[in-house]
Structure 1
Amino acid sequence: MRFRLNKDLLVKNMFNGDKLSHSPGNSIRLFPFVANRKDIKLVTDDLKDFRGIAGACFRECLQLNQSNIFDKTTFINDVCEKANAKDNPDLKELIEKMAFNEKGQLVLFDTQIYPYVRNGNVNKTLNDIAKFIIAIYFDEDDRASLKKLTDSDPENLFYKLILSCIKKPEPGINNLEPYYQASSDLRKQFKNDLHTLISDKDLFVDQFHQLIKFYFFKYTSELALRLNMFFGEEPAPLYFSVKWEKLQGARASLKFGWDLFEANISPLFSHVIVLELINYIDGFAEQPVAYREIKEIVLHLDAQEQDNLMVCIDEVIELYRFGKQDVNWDNFRETIPSAEQNPILAKIRLLYQMIEYQFEESSRGRAKLAYQEWLWEFTKINFTKPRGKWGNSLALGQEYVLLLTRLCVGSNEKIRLKDLWAGFQARGVLLDSISRDHIIQYFDKINLLEKKSDSGDAQYIRKFSQTLA
């Protein structure tokens, strides 16, 4: 038999007595989120700032301990003492102004600072997000590149003094858990953009945390939308607006932006549990599988293998029903789309509907809401704009418009305007013609637009410095 349910391992990881617990992340790791919302409101500043998460990424790459706490008072005293000005109030005030921001965090003045930057709140999920980003996007060469960036000292003497007094994190063994790898195209694009930043040190120092924040959003949102398509085609792309424009109700960035995103992440936890359960079935592949891979495998099975797999899925369904005895299953009605003609894929959809049903019929709906709220809250505070009666729209501020433009220009001195829009689209940012016009007007205002004529084919965007970005 090709397929076999590893029932012992499933029961060990997901059952407590005769009760099944929704505990994902053992058979397949999809997202770095938890089904607990109590910490979300405490870390919204960290999710928006993302510098602390970027610092955790550096520590992962450099294999440094994540748990060391930076003591600001001790650090300032050490700097004063090394400068032979112990307890000097003027020097203390200077250090406070030049080395720290308004939140009391170290200012990112050099790549060497990144390993010492920490989140404002100690939170496991924030560190898990950093591990997720490294696992999804960084290969050994990328990690080595980050390490190399911390090897050179700054030329500024004051910054050298600052760095010499920072207590270095202790070495740590940071074993990265493997995550399901969804989009190879997105990873290739990230690698190109990371190398663009690395080639310009000032740009890297200023924008690395923004780069990984953007790509964290793109990967998680695209995977969430893809999962909600089950075994269907690719999901519709998300449209963005820019934060300084006004929107009307007929715009693509309203219909195919935040509303589409919000609807697709609502059942996220149910999809995670479905795939957690299905991946306890041995025989699919060496790596964990999601809907896309399952369909590809199923469509190439012979009749005996299909029967074998169907028995395993039926066993999973019965285990799930048994593990949720507080639910009135007599009222459950399956509604499998008629287009889903393959009986195995239809059976997996049935499992999903059972999971959704029990969330609706029990108090466990809070866990489902809490899981997707991590992605919902992160996106809302970073990539949306309130639009009055129209609700929210996915939107980019000027900083992200400039960063994405700088990445599209790359090593060129200038690129055609049409190539800029193609570059935005390659990074998963779709803009309608009105949003594009607002960006063109903005570029014209800050003298980035070069016109050979009014034709789009004869308009260029010039390369610009990190100061503008």
Structure 2
Amino acid sequence: MPILKTDEITNNLTHKKAPSHSEGAINKVLPFATTKKYVKGSFQPLLGDYVRNITQIKPKKQKTSSLDALGVDPLVYSIEKSINPEGQLQHELENFLQYYLYGEKENIKLIHPYIYNYLQGSDSDNLFRKVAKCASDVLVKNDQRIANIFKDTKTEDVLSELIIGALNSSTTDDNHPAEKGYQCKLGFLNKLYCEDLIYISRHHEYFIKSLPTLTHFYFFTYICQLMLKFERFDKGDYTTSTPLYYALDWEGVISKRRKAASDMDGFKRIKQKAPLLFPHIHTMSQLSTFHGNTENSFFVYPELIEYFSDSGKEQEYLDDVNDWIKQYRQIFGERVTPKEQAGDLRTAIGLLFESIKEGMNEGARIGYGNSIEHFGSEFLRTRGSSGTILMLNHEMLLLLTAVSVKDKRIPINQLFSEYEKRGVALDRHSKKVVLETLDNLNFIDKKSDSGDAQYVKPIL
């Protein structure tokens, strides 16, 4: 019996009138679409869905009532009931609570981490929900320490206690079928994110302010790092970050000679390779569709090589892949060039990738790849002839420094190493600016004139 499920893969590609690419039952690793652009901007609109994916708290949908016609918000009414004011005091309390909870906005103010569970979701935008689901799956991976941050209802004042109590009473116990999840392939980023999030959660106001930026940055880094690993095929190292150079947005002119503006070290490398992301996803999905993969796991290239070399079935699997490359061309026609028989699995994987790249619609490849730039727009700037560059603003630099240093001072060189663990490499020009910026803010502890003897103090 063949190892590769070629009948299943064929059905995935041909179940529509015209052949089209589908990942089938294999676990997804990214949420993007080929035609719809991800809306540029912050992660803020996704936070409600993101946190609910982590906590599994399901707020009840508010029912329309006569109170709505009178202009009284259901949450305000619920808090009022627990206080039971009378006369003019009731009207004044309503006005106070309405402004305190919402201000001039529709969404409730974030005065406590528990409130993230009740932020409005993205019911009308399926792509937003998918992005929020993917981010929670790959960054948190059911880590109960993170869930507990957003489930904790402890408060430090009576008003917050009343608000949390009113929200808690609007939670439903309905169990809906769990949405199909996304598979994390970069465990080191998941571990770093959880450690960093737990650390800033101890600083209440900073946590509320920084959660969307930290989460957005980590998920963008996750996407970029996946792309960098995929392009290396079986040589990709999934245990550590591949350096991507950033600049600082107050540095002024960034010359083409800077690493942040180079084709090999900066975002241009991602941008050039982005149209290949979609064929990489489908190459690995097809190769992962084999007998024995009972969990429908998404195997990356090095895992496939290791799995079949260890199992003693590499030759049998290689024969199946060679046969599948021929069948794939029969499905997608002459635009897929004939390929010679591969003599080893590494070569066969490369030939299948080339076949899928040829078989795919170019517009679909470009559209899917463009999702990276759309999602990461907050961390990208265009600098004239130098093109699109990865940039850190003051807020992001201080956040990155805070989570890198945490509670104990560290040598400046260690700080830059911590940045790199999180996907941020800096050239000597940017390092100098970072040092000057932190020194001006009194975060540098100088023990001597030697650069190695300079320490970075905790930010928080």
Instruction: State the TM-score, normalized to the length of structure 2.
Output: 0.84
Residue in structure 1 matching 2:54, options 54, 58, 61: 61
Percent of aligned pairs with the same amino acid = 23
The runs of at least 4 aligned residues of structure 1 exceeding 4 Å deviation read 66-73, 79-97, 164-167, 233-236, 283-286, 298-302, 333-336
- Please give the alpha-carbon distance, in whole angstroms, between the structure 1 residues aligned to 2:358 and 2:63: 47
Query: Partner of 1:51 in structure 2?
Result: 44
Query: Partner of 2:418 in structure 1?
Result: 423
Say whether the 8 Å CA contact 1:18–1:323 is kept in structure 2: no
Say whether the 8 Å CA contact 2:285–2:298 is kept in structure 1: no
Say whether the 8 Å CA contact 1:61–1:144 is kept in structure 2: no
- Does residue 1:295 correspond to 2:294, yes or no? no
Say whether the 8 Å CA contact 1:76–1:92 is kept in structure 2: no
The CA deviation at 1:12 is 3.9
Query: Partner of 2:289 in structure 1?
Result: 280
- Please give the alpha-carbon distance, in whole angstroms, between the structure 1 residues aligned to 2:63 and 2:110: 15
- Does residue 1:237 correspond to 2:243, yes or no? yes
- Please give the alpha-carbon distance, in whole angstroms, between the structure 1 residues aligned to 2:198 and 2:182: 23
- Please give the alpha-carbon distance, in whole angstroms, between the structure 2 residues aligned to 1:70 and 1:433: 58
* Distance change >3 Å, CA 251–CA 68, structure 1 → 2: farther
Deviates more, 1:197-206 or 1:95-104: 95-104
Deviates more, 1:22-31 or 1:162-171: 162-171
* Distance change >3 Å, CA 100–CA 257, structure 1 → 2: farther
Residue in structure 2 matching 1:459, options 430, 454, 457: 454
- Please give the alpha-carbon distance, in whole angstroms, between the structure 2 residues aligned to 1:316 and 1:87: 76
The CA deviation at 1:281 is 2.4
Residue in structure 2 matching 1:391, options 387, 394, 417: 387
Say whether the 8 Å CA contact 1:80–1:92 is kept in structure 2: no
Query: Partner of 2:441 in structure 1?
Result: 446
Q: Is there any run of 5+ residues in structure 1 with no aligned partner, and where?
A: none
* Distance change >3 Å, CA 92–CA 35, structure 1 → 2: farther
- Does residue 1:402 correspond to 2:405, yes or no? no
Return the letter of the residue paired with 2:230.
L
Residue in structure 2 matching 1:253, options 248, 260, 265: 260
Return the letter of the residue paired with 1:112.
Y
The CA deviation at 1:102 is 6.1
The CA deviation at 1:233 is 4.8
- Please give the alpha-carbon distance, in whole angstroms, between the structure 2 residues aligned to 1:392 and 1:103: 33
Please list the CA deviations of residues 183-212 of structure 1 after superposition, one character each: whole Å capped at 9, or x if unmatched. 232222223212212333333322222222
* Distance change >3 Å, CA 88–CA 57, structure 1 → 2: same
User: 2:172 aligns to what SS in structure 1?
Assistant: coil
Say whether the 8 Å CA contact 2:412–2:455 is kept in structure 1: yes
- Please give the alpha-carbon distance, in whole angstroms, between the structure 2 residues aligned to 1:66 and 1:149: 14
- Please give the alpha-carbon distance, in whole angstroms, between the structure 1 residues aligned to 2:63 and 2:136: 23
Q: CA RMSD in A?
A: 3.3
Instruction: Trace 1:156-195 onto structure 2 (pairs within 5 A).
Output: 156-166=157-167, 168-171=170-173, 172-173=175-176, 175=178, 177-195=180-198
- Please give the alpha-carbon distance, in whole angstroms, between the structure 2 residues aligned to 1:365 and 1:54: 33
Query: Partner of 1:343 in structure 2?
Result: 344
User: 2:247 aligns to what SS in structure 1?
Assistant: strand
Deviates more, 1:163-172 or 1:130-139: 163-172
Query: Partner of 1:320 in structure 2?
Result: 328
* Distance change >3 Å, CA 17–CA 268, structure 1 → 2: closer
Say whether the 8 Å CA contact 1:65–1:173 is kept in structure 2: no
Please list the CA deviations of residues 144-186 of structure 1 after superposition, one character each: whole Å capped at 9, or x if unmatched. 5423543334334444444444473434446253534322322
Q: Is there any run of 5+ residues in structure 2 with no aligned partner, and where?
A: none
Say whether the 8 Å CA contact 1:99–1:106 is kept in structure 2: yes
* Distance change >3 Å, CA 58–CA 102, structure 1 → 2: same
Return the letter of the residue paired with 1:54.
L
Please list the CA deviations of residues 428-464 of structure 1 after superposition, one character each: whole Å capped at 9, or x if unmatched. 2111111111112211222222222332222222223
Instruction: Trace 1:135-174 onto structure 2 (pairs within 5 A).
Output: 135-140=137-142, 142-147=143-148, 149-166=150-167, 168-171=170-173, 172-173=175-176
